[in-house]
Structure 1
Amino acid sequence: MRDGEATAMPTARRAPPPPPPWELLHLVAPFLDAASLAAAYCVSTSWNAAFGADYLWARLCVQHYPAALGLLRLRHLTDTDDQRQCSFSSLSHRRLFALFRSASTGCRALPAPRLALADVAFAVDISAAGGESILSFAVAADKTAQVKNAAGLFLFGVDLSDRNAAIGPGEWRVRWTAVRTSIREAPAAVLMMDAKVPAARAAGAIGFGGRGEAGVSARLPVPGCGGGRLEAEVVVELAGEEKLVEKVRLGVMCECRYVSADEGLRYLQHFLL
């Protein structure tokens, strides 16, 4: 060792603190919430036994999912051939709580639609009762102007004031078809509406100021997973005694409210994908 050099003294390592007494775990456990109790349950074998006690999770089931406790007395047949029976009585309260917790958190958000507005076009035909065409147009869904204050809804407006098309008197018919236009796949289409607008409704469309609107709605076809409450709606904004078409609004409704764009696309993908 050279002169002037200090000798390095080894530092003593502190011993890890001893685990809490077994009795302390049982005193703390009743004050923990579900997340803390589940985390403590995974620490070690002794903690697993302390924080996995059935009475702790039974208390949480009573607080959050009291109806779930009825499953512990429910019996049902699982195999009709040999009449074997099983029950939920063997299910622990911890597993029962986890089952209902996953159910309540797993259904909050629906997956994003696989179909985009850029892949969809709308084709609309408006014709007189005799079949002669009054107005026809096709427009890309993402190019239509969403109606003011309706951002995020499956509700679109198409300006047709430059067409100089007039509805005129009498009954008329609306046919709306949604078409998949993606270049990556073959075209597909679904008929959204083919409905008549009664002459009486059209006759009373023009009100004070020489403007008004007439609309029609129809139940949408039901996809395999349901959705029978959805309706397609077409509203035609009119002007003057000749009932010149100024704008056509296209939307999908459920129980008198417009659905979101994602809801509408999720519906269309059943038929277009």
Structure 2
Amino acid sequence: MAMNDRTEGWHMLLQVFGMLDGKSLATAASVSRLWSQVATQEDLWKDLCLAKWPSLDSQAGVSVVNEAGSYRQLYVLRYQAQRGCFGHVKPWLSMDDLIFLVDVTAAAAEEVACSFIRRGGELCPVFVCDDMFRFLAVLREEEHGKAAVGGLGEMKGLKVSWAVMVKGSQRVFQVMNSKNAGHAMMGNACISFSECLPDHSGCAPGFSQHIAEVDLRFGVREDGNLVTAEVCLGIMNTLTWRYFSQDEALRYLQHAFL
């Protein structure tokens, strides 16, 4: 392409792109190298930002843009915040910052079936892809309670409490406090609990697309009674029917702790 043609094409794209909204402009940037060079021009994103958020047209606004890195980056961050999502922003929490507290009791007698505390880094990933927020805790002998689960009927009376605490702080989030109604049996050796989680984005009051899951996996003791051998913990997104990635779960918990 001759230099004059390229320059003319550049200016033509600049004029057209100046009429686009942010989502369309971001899409245009993925079409070709030339389109990307034009669509990422700061002047275009500055005009979009100032039109959408007039408060940025000030000295304080300039400082905010500098903090974000660019008008384009600020637009992306504001757009994600308005939609209640956080894109690929790395959470400030890590798994090593979390402490998991789980107690399983026999609802009728309030006797402990099992209880344990684990740091996030001590939990074993369930899937080969270890980025998923679904973990397994293999119980030690001292973590088994006095309550014996004699058979399948007695499994229905179990109650699960799952809380998460931030290490070195007083912040605690109650993930689950559920009594099984007896409809979540999974074969003869596993029972599953689930509970809807609050939506911390504020974009859909009264509606939750997140579900906490706890699976209890049983073994058999020498006396023939069942004992909780393993506990599986996870959070699922019901819109996509997949488990949260660790980053997604950590971002969710960050908002829960606010």
CA distance in structure 2 between the partners assigned to 1:120 and 1:96 by the alignment = 38
Q: Name the count of aligned residue pairs.
A: 195
Q: 1:229 to 1:243 in 2, by over 3 A?
A: same
Q: Amino acid of the residue matched to residue 166 of structure 2? A: R
| Alignment partner, residue 29 of structure 1 | 7
Cα distance per residue 1:90-136 (max 9 Å; x no partner): xxxx8489749948966694321111211111111111121222111
What are the Cα deviations for residues 193-252 of structure 1, in whole angstroms up to 9, with x where unaligned? 0111123544x631xxxxx31111111123254583111110111234633212101111
Which whole-Å CA distance do the structure 2 matches of 1:128 and 1:154 have between them? 27
1:250 equivalent in alignment to 2:247: no
Alpha-carbon distance in structure 2 between the residues aligned to 1:188 and 1:96: 39
Contact 1:233 1:250 in 2 (8 A): yes
Rg larger in 1 or in 2?
1
Q: CA RMSD in A?
A: 3.5
Q: Distance in 2 between matches of 1:197 and 1:27?
A: 70
Tell me the distance in 2 between the aligned counterparts of 1:102 and 1:66: 11
1:194 maps to 177
Question: CA offsets, 1:244-273, max 9 Å, x none?
Answer: 212101111112211011111111112335
Q: Deviations over 1:169-194 (max 9, x none)?
A: 24211110101122xxx321010001
Aligned counterparts of 1:191 and 1:142: Cα–Cα separation in 2: 19
> How has the CA–CA distance of structure 1 residues 115 and 27 changed in structure 2, closer, same or farther, with 3 Å as cutoff?
closer
* Superposed counterparts of 1:209-220, under 5 Å: 212-220=189-197
Report what 1:133 is aligned to: 112
> Contact 1:193 / 1:218 at 8 angstroms: preserved in 2?
yes
Flag the 1:257–1:133 CA change in 2: closer, same or farther, 3 A: same
**Does the 8 Å CA contact 1:124/1:138 hold for their aligned counterparts?**
yes
Distance 1:249 1:235 in 2: 5
- 8 Å CA contact 2:113–2:144 kept in 1: the answer is no
Q: Within 1, Cα distance between the matches of 2:96 and 2:184?
A: 34
In structure 2, C-alpha distance between the alignment counterparts of 1:145 and 1:265, rounded to whole Å: 17
SS of match in other structure, 2:7? helix
Match of 1:167 among 141, 149, 155: 149
**Partners of 1:156 and 1:250 within 8 A in 2:** yes
More helix by share: 2
The one-letter amino acid paired with 2:257 is L
Distance 1:66 1:125, change over 3 A: closer
2:253 matches 1:268: yes
Q: Is the CA contact (8 Å cut-off) linking 1:237 and 1:246 kept in structure 2?
A: yes
Gaps of 5+ in 1: 1-23, 32-36, 38-50, 69-93, 207-211
Task: Tell me which moved more, 158-167 or 173-182.
Answer: 158-167
**Which one-letter code corresponds to 2:119 in the other structure?**
A
Give % identity. 23
2:181 & 2:130 partners in 1: Cα distance?
Answer: 31
Query: Of 95, 113, 116, which aligns to 2:91?
Result: 113
**Contact persistence 2:106–2:112 (CA under 8 A):** yes
Asked if the contact 2:196/2:211 (under 8 Å) is kept, the reply is yes
1:57 and 1:97 in contact (8 A); partners too: no
Report the TM-score when normalising by structure 1.
0.59
Cα displacement (A) at 1:63: 9.9
Task: State the partner residue of 2:133.
Answer: 154
